[in-house]
């Protein structure tokens, strides 16, 4: 049987975006489709999210049969060394000085993230992000996203994680909505499928307009995978 990996972003892909990241839930149709897919032989569903694992667990059903990979692929991962921890502490201190007018700092195990979704003035939000982007990282990576800038102590991306994990499957389907998801789409091969949710530029070969449409596509995939499995 041909093995299938279904690797999915969460925010903006399986759940609508919200200024409060913990005020969201997975789309009901997407959840049903994921449960169907995960029950099939030689089929694995992975949620590959920028959230840390403790954070994504807060907005998912406890019994959802998926593999959770957090912090853009860094979690679960190795422990950080003293230099890495010192770097994150320094970044966090600088971000707290910048985080005004509703902006706030999120501490994740391998990253520090500045959020501006709650800043009501768009001009002010852009100014806060611009100030964050002027912080000296010493060459360590930063990532731009929906109303966020993220500072990481590690080089891991969704792409570096997926490149290795997908080797055990015949086919991979990946779906995501944000710039960080392009790292994963870039490592897909000729037997794989990349899906972009929304209007952002993408190298994906297929695009759906929103979370509702992504849920419908997962239902279609579950229908087709069940039919295919029944003939084997």
Contacts 24+ apart (CB under 8 A), 83-92: 84/153, 84/154, 85/153, 87/138, 87/140, 87/153, 88/112, 88/151, 88/153, 91/135, 91/137, 91/151
Alpha carbon of residue 170 to chain centroid: 22
Tokens (6 digits) for 129:
């992000």
User: DSSP 3-state assignment of 14?
Assistant: coil
Mean pLDDT confidence for 119-132 = 96
Closest CA to 176 of 153, 190, 159, 164: 159
Span 4-74+156-230 CATH architecture? 3-Layer(aba) Sandwich (3.40)
Closest CA to 156 of 18, 16, 48, 20: 48
Instruction: Break the chain into its structural domains and give their ranges.
Output: 4-74+156-230, 82-152
> Class for domain 82-152, per CATH?
alpha beta
Which tens digit of pLDDT belongs to each residue from 34-81? 999 999 999 999 999 999 999 999 999 999 999 999 999 999 988 899
Q: Around 226, how many Cα atoms within 13 Å sit in the side-chain half-sphere? A: 13
Estimate the crossing angle of helix 211-230 against helix 28-38, to 10 degrees. Answer: 20
């890495």: which residue's tokens? 84
pLDDT band at 145 (very low <50, low <70, confident <90, very high): confident
pLDDT band at 205 (very low <50, low <70, confident <90, very high): very high
Question: d(Cα 45, Cα 54) in Å, to the nearest integer?
Answer: 18
Question: d(Cα 31, Cα 218) in Å, to the nearest integer?
Answer: 9
The pairing of beta strand 193-197 with beta strand 171-176: parallel
Question: d(Cα 232, Cα 227) in Å, to the nearest integer?
Answer: 9
Does the model's pTM come out above 0.75?
A: yes
**pLDDT at residue 90 tops 70:** yes
Tokens (6 digits) for 71:
């912090």
């Amino acid at each position: 049987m041909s093995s299938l990996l279904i690797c999915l972003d969460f925010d903006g892909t399986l759940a609508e975006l919200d200024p409060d990241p913990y005020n969201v839930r997975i789309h009901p149709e997407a959840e049903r489709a994921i449960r169907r897919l995960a029950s099939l032989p030689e089929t694995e569903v992975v949620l590959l999210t920028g959230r840390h694992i403790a954070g994504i667990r807060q907005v998912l059903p406890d019994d959802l049969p998926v593999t959770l990979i957090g912090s853009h692929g860094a979690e679960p991962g190795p422990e950080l060394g003293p230099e890495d921890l010192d770097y994150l502490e320094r970044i966090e201190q600088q971000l707290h000085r910048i985080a005004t007018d509703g902006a706030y700092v999120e501490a994740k195990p391998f990253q520090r993230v500045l959020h501006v979704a709650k800043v009501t003035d768009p001009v002010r939000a852009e100014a806060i992000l611009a100030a964050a982007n002027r912080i000296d990282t010493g060459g360590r990576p930063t990532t731009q996203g929906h109303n966020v800038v993220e500072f990481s102590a590690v080089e891991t991306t969704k792409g570096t994680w997926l490149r290795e994990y997908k080797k055990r499957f015949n086919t991979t389907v990946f779906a995501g909505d944000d710039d960080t998801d392009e790292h994963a789409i870039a490592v897909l091969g000729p037997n794989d499928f990349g899906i972009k949710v929304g209007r952002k530029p993408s190298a994906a070969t297929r695009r759906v307009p929103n979370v509702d449409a992504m849920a419908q596509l997962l239902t279609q995939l579950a229908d087709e995978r069940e039919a295919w499995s029944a003939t084997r």
